Structure 1
Amino acid sequence: MTRKPGNTRPRIRRAAKSGCAAALHLTGVDQLIGKTLGMNNMPLVLGYHRVVTDFDSAAQASIEPNLISVETLKHQLEYFAQDYTFVSLDELVASLYQGSREGNKLAAVTFDDGYADVYHNAYPLLRDMNIPFTVFVVSNLIGTDQLLPHDHLYLLVSEAINTSRVDVFRAIGELQDATCQIAKELENELYASSDAFDATRRILDSLNLEGIKTLINRMESRLCLPEDRKQAFRGLSPDMLSEMLGAGVTVGSHTVSHAVLANETADNVRAEVVRSKHYLQNCLNTEIKHFAYPDGSFNALVIAEVARAGYTSAVTTCTHQDRARPELTIPRHLLWEKSSINGFNNLSTAVLSCQANGIFDPATKCSRMHFA
């Protein structure tokens, strides 16, 4: 992720967070708070994206919070395995219907988007650790070199910022549709931006999938990305998915094209959740029962369409839940390389404990109005 040179804020925040976590963990207060919040009886669902061998190298051309190294993933899972029993998503969802049981702490591992490095790096590790997991696949990505919208945008925005290509940002202001005013505001914001992640985040929050695709085409017409920068984002192939399925891995849907569903029309939402399910079932000859909301974006309409499509469960990226359909708004803890480290860049078990007990949830509370 592009950052301003000499920016020490992330380091200061990590030091403060890990210091607070250490105090709570050493005194056992984290467990007490977790018990008060009911976290000790709640299953733990962990969410990841890409799994790489070298984080620093991969971070040069990828969204950092989407990355975790094999080594860090192993250490995180080893820590949680001390207190939780890892089960498949099917078993975890069944436990939700049956009601929580004191002393029976369950956890499930999930990976979003369906990158090939999940097969190459995560699959061997979790197989050796005897940990079941679920991979939520964007069906259009299977077996292709196609980039997902957020990855494509991030690469383009990063390149534009790094090369001071002002004309690339003008492509945003030239969008001639209902988002014209938003596009002009985005152009001005990106012109002054030095953080590719924040800029990408703003675009994804502001435009629907059609607008994002139009923008990507306009930016690409002015800025050519080197082909070697796209290779790391290759999707899982049907053969990779079939092999993992045969070994007990669960496959779920993550839509057709990773559309941010709350930004889409009802017809588009229905197409994304239904077509991805049907495609995966036909391609893999297995029932697709589980769904993950791209970017954690959902509202009442989206939940209704997911239910109508026949999914047994759906996972989010925040703590908001629909009381009427809790199984379709299952919270997850999204973790990555630096999500649980201290001020010295070392993995902190105290931070992991506080995360599992929901202590940092208020500080990272989702600002979306899911049920407005």
Structure 2
Amino acid sequence: MFHEIQRDCRSELMTGTSVELFEYSLSWLQQEGWAIVSLQECLERLARNDQSRRYAVLTFDDGYRDNVSVALPILERNNAPFMMYVPTAAVTRTMQSWWLGLRELFRSRDDITIDAMGIRFHCPDYESKRFALTKVDHWVHQNYNRAEMLAPTFNKAGISIATLNHQYFLDECALQELARHPLASIGGHTTSHAALAAIDATLARAEMADNRNYLQNLLQAPVRHHAYPYGACGVREELLAKEVGYSSAVTTRHGQLGSDRLNQFALPRIGVSSAFDSNISFAARMNGVQLAAQTLLARRPHRQHLEETLRAWAGRR
């Protein structure tokens, strides 16, 4: 799972994936014997339990311009198919992309007050800007309704979300051109990039169905696959995705695919971001080492309790 592929990741406060890490990801996969396949081919291989070779799917969320200007030439050199999940409002410039507003806010100023949080930040250098941005970002992710509370701060700072949308997201013509590329597949990502699990079922269904209809009309092609914004989903959202006509949906849950107990409407992904990843950590996650370590650590309290119980039982004997 990728979002932005940035030429200068540091100037964007490490909010995407650097070109260097992106290129390394693709070369590592191929050197380690992974075939890079389309999502459709992946699902077909899983359906027939094809275990002849390991394979990976590349996905991009939101429809950023740099996915075409920066990532696409790299993908072409590697003959790597990919899926891009696109929200309607990104293309029409109406999306409340609060994360772009926050990044611009901290990039452009050293002293910032987030009125909704009642916090003032003094961040004159890169590290303090990264820390402050992460803190506010985490605050929004705790309750997505808080995103609307940032609007007065953006207005006061003269930050136009519509302008940022135009600067960072593909427009209709660019998306139509991309959809004709032999390596590209386009999927749905709701109308407004809503956290579906946080809204009522009627609105959640409309978010998915209207976005799918918009993309199919724009591209004159079927749109079969969906990504839940923020990974905010549960059983209800899985059922809605199937109901509106999707054949798969991806989450932000970390994990690898397997034919056993596969839920095509809750597919896991491995996120790649330069804020958290290095070449070494990417390899560890792809090999399953990181997930195994996390599982082991999560089980440690239970194991310690079991060992203490056994020692006490042995002592009573």
TM normalised by structure 2 equals 0.79
1:103-142 to 2 correspondences below 5 Å: 103-142=52-91
Aligned residues with identical type, % of pairs? 24
Offset at residue 271 of structure 1 (A):
1.4
**Secondary structure of the corresponding residue to residue 191 of structure 2:** coil
Letter in 1 for 2:38: S
Letter in 2 for 1:303: E
Count of residue pairs the alignment pairs up? 283
**Cα distance in structure 2, aligned partners of 1:354 and 1:160:** 35
**Cα distance in structure 2, aligned partners of 1:290 and 1:278:** 13
Give the counterpart of 2:170 among 232, 236, 242. 236
Q: Using a 3 Å threshold, how does the CA distance of structure 1 residues 104 and 245 change in structure 2: closer, same or farther?
A: same
Match of 2:5 in 1: 51
- 8 Å CA contact 1:67, 1:336 repeated in 2: yes
**Secondary structure of the corresponding residue to residue 334 of structure 1:** coil
Q: Using a 3 Å threshold, how does the CA distance of structure 1 residues 160 and 202 change in structure 2: closer, same or farther?
A: farther
**Correspondence 1:357 to 2:287:** yes
Farther-moved stretch of structure 1 (197-206 vs 250-259):
197-206
Match of 1:313 in 2: 248
Q: Using a 3 Å threshold, how does the CA distance of structure 1 residues 76 and 207 change in structure 2: closer, same or farther?
A: closer
* Structure ranking higher on relative contact order (CA contacts 8 Å, 6+ apart): 1
Offset at residue 84 of structure 1 (A):
0.4
**Secondary structure of the corresponding residue to residue 94 of structure 1:** helix
Letter in 2 for 1:92: C
Offset at residue 241 of structure 1 (A):
1.9
**Cα distance in structure 2, aligned partners of 1:294 and 1:228:** 19
Letter in 2 for 1:126: L
Offset at residue 337 of structure 1 (A):
2.3
Match of 2:228 in 1: 293
Offset at residue 242 of structure 1 (A):
2.1
**Secondary structure of the corresponding residue to residue 58 of structure 1:** coil
Offset at residue 231 of structure 1 (A):
6.9
- 8 Å CA contact 1:355, 1:361 repeated in 2: yes
**Correspondence 1:265 to 2:229:** no
- 8 Å CA contact 1:143, 1:235 repeated in 2: no
Match of 1:75 in 2: 24
Match of 1:42 in 2: none
Cα deviation 1:110-136 (Å, max 9, x = unaligned): 100111111111112101211000111
**Cα distance in structure 2, aligned partners of 1:290 and 1:233:** 26
- 8 Å CA contact 2:91, 2:171 repeated in 1: yes
Letter in 2 for 1:132: P
Offset at residue 220 of structure 1 (A):
2.9
> Structure 2: 5+ residue runs without aligned partners?
123-130, 299-317
**Cα distance in structure 1, aligned partners of 2:273 and 2:62:** 15
> Structure 1: 5+ residue runs without aligned partners?
1-46, 173-186, 342-346, 368-372
Offset at residue 100 of structure 1 (A):
4.3
TM normalised by structure 1 equals 0.68
**Cα distance in structure 2, aligned partners of 1:109 and 1:329:** 16
**Secondary structure of the corresponding residue to residue 55 of structure 1:** coil
Max Rg structure: 2
Q: CA RMSD in A?
A: 3.0
Q: Using a 3 Å threshold, how does the CA distance of structure 1 residues 258 and 363 change in structure 2: closer, same or farther?
A: farther
Give the counterpart of 1:335 among 272, 280, 290. 272
Q: Using a 3 Å threshold, how does the CA distance of structure 1 residues 147 and 116 change in structure 2: closer, same or farther?
A: farther
**Secondary structure of the corresponding residue to residue 142 of structure 1:** helix
Q: Using a 3 Å threshold, how does the CA distance of structure 1 residues 121 and 364 change in structure 2: closer, same or farther?
A: farther
